[in-house]
């Protein structure tokens, strides 16, 4: 379309429109996060500049541009209350590039716009580092390179398609050097540009508090929380409890953490807290970026180890944390065990905080707990647990749209509404257990995960957020997981939330929604392939940190040896140079270059030239093709002239070469 648009235009107009296209490709991705007035200003300015170009009008004078630019900078300050930082900086750059398009009076200004476009293009990575973003940036680079090449021509300009092909070749030539620098250039820890006042963007994620409705809000998000890969056989779906914040304080409405000192990993005190049994299960977790402090691990795993962060720490409630909140992607390893005993040696004084309840709330729950206390005194802790779980199993319904609860939220949930999500079940169950006399606490995290058969990773999404309870069952058993949601909706634990509460698809798309849930369907396979590609991008590109670089280079050196790697690189470089030199020598003869292009043209018509076939015999075969008379005459004339120039004259005259190329164009 661009070629058709630029064809009838003068060269200056066509070149300027191509520059505007490149600038638009640079600016368009920023519209999603720029203020609305900035996006409108950019679009109107680009339309104004295009109209000036098409109509051949004069550019606006400086006395008009200067106050407009100052007003725009003032708008940036009023919008952000500062001119420093990522957001105001990117906004000013977009406006600067746009206004510069109205102030191109010399050849130098054209290249200023191009180089400024390259610089602004990099800022897209502030907002997205996905594969589609990278692909869009590559396409933009090729258009900008084609624009830069266009301004270098002093005579006739090749067609736009030819210039785009040349820019693509330039990009492909530079790509291996860029890849080599990416792999081998020393990397620094943290972001390249640490701009002041830039906090991490708001992300959906697990909180360290829980109130009715908090988990159900997360259940609506398909955002990836983390990915995990097991080195051996993976546990069953119902065993995938990814433990996060532990909530022990309740104020009548909200559950929250109790801040306690941290235990350093690997100490003897930790070994006193946990006793592991059974075959160890090693695994690796890649946690997505977000301002979080918790390391989500399979419950009661051994210490997490991270190459970039080192070892984390335990809280006295056996949460695993990093020392300071991190907002970048983190990879760490852990070892889980199918059986364990956690904190079995706690004293009655230590257990007291897990028995505390706020005064003056939920009288009906306290009366029901008194009945369970009697049962517990007669038949033991397990009998009281079983009775409570049986009550949940018989009377309750699992839903994402529970009723609103009042002051006595536990009473209303247990005896009136009886419909809720995992936070309702876990919070009410822990309250009931404490009222019965059993130490209990709420544990939040994630449950389950979707296995991607393409790369073997489990994808855990925010919709897998879950809450359950832990009950202390004496010095022989310690803290034991009890999940009341599993009693109410066991399919949620065995499969996923999507299988428990299938989404209502729009009218006419029910079949497509069913394909998405069927893991053997073509749609699911495509989704798994895209997810695996995104995971590989995250693992090897976005998470290529200094430690991973050093590890990769050590493995590469060990594979090739100390001398083999430089020798291999030198051999590859020499081969590339020889191939390029051979192609350059062949390209020096314009007669041969035209003949090679003609042979490629014949191949598209289904006529392949034999290696020992000359132009005369090839012309006889061309005459057998069914072609328009003008094209047949051009093709046979080309072969006759080629034979005369190649074998009749020691050096082809320039006018005959031009005629040969003209016949080639007519043959096309």
Residues carrying an active site annotation = 422, 466, 483
Helix (H) or strand (E) holding 383, with range, is helix 381-395
Q: Which two tokens stand for residue 446?
A: 């994630």
Give how far the C-alpha of residue 437 lies from the chain's centroid of Cα atoms, to the nearest Å. Answer: 47
- What CA–CA distance (Å, rounded) separates 423 from 215? 6
Q: If 0-12 CB within 10 Å is exposed, 13-18 middle and 19+ buried, where does residue 150 land?
A: buried
Q: Which DSSP string do the residues of 306-338 spell out, in sequence order?
A: ETTTEE-EEETT--EEEEEEE-S-EEEEEEE-S
- In SS3 terms, 90-146 reads as HHHHHHHHHHHCCCCCCHHHHHHHHHHHHHHHHHHHHCCCCHHHHHHHHHHHHHHHH
Closest CA to 525 of 515, 537, 536: 515
In the sheet that holds 330-336, the strands lie side by side as 310-311, 305-306, 330-336, 281-287, 224-230, 458-461, 450-451
Which one, of 171, 174, 170, 149, lies nearest residue 160 by Cα? 149
Contact 204, 291 (CB under 8 A): no
Closest CA to 392 of 422, 437, 436: 422
CA distance from start to end of the chain? 20
Q: Is 663 exposed, middle or buried (0-12, 13-18, 19+ CB in 10 A)?
A: buried
Closest CA to 428 of 415, 438, 413, 416: 413
* Element housing 365 (H / E): helix 363-379
Tokens of 131: 């594969």
């Amino acid at each position: 379309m661009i070629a058709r648009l630029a064809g009838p235009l003068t060269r200056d107009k066509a070149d300027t429109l191509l520059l505007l296209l490149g600038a638009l490709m640079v600016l368009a991705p920023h519209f999603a996060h720029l203020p609305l007035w900035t996006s409108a200003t950019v679009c109107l300015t680009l339309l104004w500049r295009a109209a000036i170009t098409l109509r051949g009008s004069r550019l606006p004078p400086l006395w008009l541009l200067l106050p407009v630019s100052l007003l725009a900078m003032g708008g940036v300050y009023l919008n952000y209350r500062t001119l420093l930082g990522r957001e105001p900086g990117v906004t000013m750059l977009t406006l600067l590039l746009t206004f510069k398009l109205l102030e191109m009076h010399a050849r130098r200004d054209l290249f200023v716009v191009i180089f400024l476009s390259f610089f602004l293009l990099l800022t897209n990575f502030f907002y997205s580092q996905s594969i589609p973003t990278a692909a869009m940036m590559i396409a933009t680079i090729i258009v900008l390179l084609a624009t830069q090449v266009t301004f270098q021509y002093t005579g006739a300009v090749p067609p736009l398609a030819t210039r785009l092909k040349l820019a693509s070749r330039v990009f492909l030539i530079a790509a291996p050097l860029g890849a080599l620098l990416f792999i081998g250039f020393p990397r620094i820890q943290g972001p390249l540009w640490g701009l002041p006042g830039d906090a991490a963007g708001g992300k959906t994620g697990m909180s360290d508090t829980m109130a009715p409705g908090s988990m159900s809000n997360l259940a609506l998000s398909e955002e990836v929380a983390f990915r995990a890969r097991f080195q051996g056989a993976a546990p069953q779906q119902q065993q995938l409890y990814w433990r996060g914040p532990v909530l022990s304080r309740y104020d009548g409405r909200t559950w929250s953490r109790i801040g306690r000192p941290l235990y350093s990993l690997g100490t003897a005190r930790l070994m006193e807290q946990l006793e592991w049994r059974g075959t160890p299960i090693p695994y690796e977790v890649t946690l997505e970026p977000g301002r979080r402090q918790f390391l989500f691990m399979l419950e009661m795993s051994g210490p997490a180890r991270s190459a970039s962060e080192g070892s984390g720490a335990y809280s006295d409630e056996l949460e695993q944390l990093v020392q300071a909140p991190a907002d970048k992607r983190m990879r760490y390893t852990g070892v889980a065990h199918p059986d364990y005993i956690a904190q079995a040696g706690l004293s009655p004084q230590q257990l007291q905080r897990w028995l505390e309840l706020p005064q003056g709330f939920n009288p009906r729950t306290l009366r029901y707990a008194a009945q369970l206390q009697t049962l517990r005194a007669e038949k033991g802790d397990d009998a009281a647990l079983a009775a409570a779980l049986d009550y949940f199993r018989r009377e309750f319904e699992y839903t994402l749209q529970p009723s609103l609860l009042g002051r006595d939220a536990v009473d209303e949930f247990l005896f009136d509404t009886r419909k809720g999500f995992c936070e309702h079940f876990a919070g009410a169950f822990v309250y009931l257990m404490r009222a019965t006399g059993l130490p209990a606490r709420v544990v939040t995290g994630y449950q389950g995960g979707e296995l991607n058969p393409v790369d073997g990773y489990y994808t855990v999404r925010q919709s897998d957020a879950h809450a359950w309870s832990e009950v202390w069952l004496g010095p022989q058993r310690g803290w034991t997981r009890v999940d009341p949601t599993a009693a109410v909706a066991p399919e949620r634990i065995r499969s996923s939330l999507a299988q428990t509460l299938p989404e209502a698809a729009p009218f006419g798309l029910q079949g497509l929604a069913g394909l998405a849930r069927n893991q053997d369907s073509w749609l699911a396979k495509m989704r798994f392939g895209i997810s695996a590609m995104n995971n590989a991008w995250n693992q090897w590109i976005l998470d290529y940190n200094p430690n991973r670089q050093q590890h990769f280079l050590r493995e590469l050196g060990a594979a090739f040896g100390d001398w083999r790697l430089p020798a291999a690189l030198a051999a590859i470089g020499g081969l590339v140079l020889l191939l390029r030199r051979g192609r350059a020598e062949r390209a020096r003869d314009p007669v041969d270059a035209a003949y090679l292009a003609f042979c490629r043209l014949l191949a598209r018509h289904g006529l392949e030239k034999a290696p020992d076939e000359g132009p005369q015999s090839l012309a006889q075969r061309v005459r057998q093709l069914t072609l328009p008379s003008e094209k047949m005459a051009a093709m046979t004339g080309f072969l006759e002239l080629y034979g005369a120039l190649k074998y009749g004259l020691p050096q082809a005259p320039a006018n005959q070469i031009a005629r040969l190329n003209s016949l080639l164009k007519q043959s096309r």
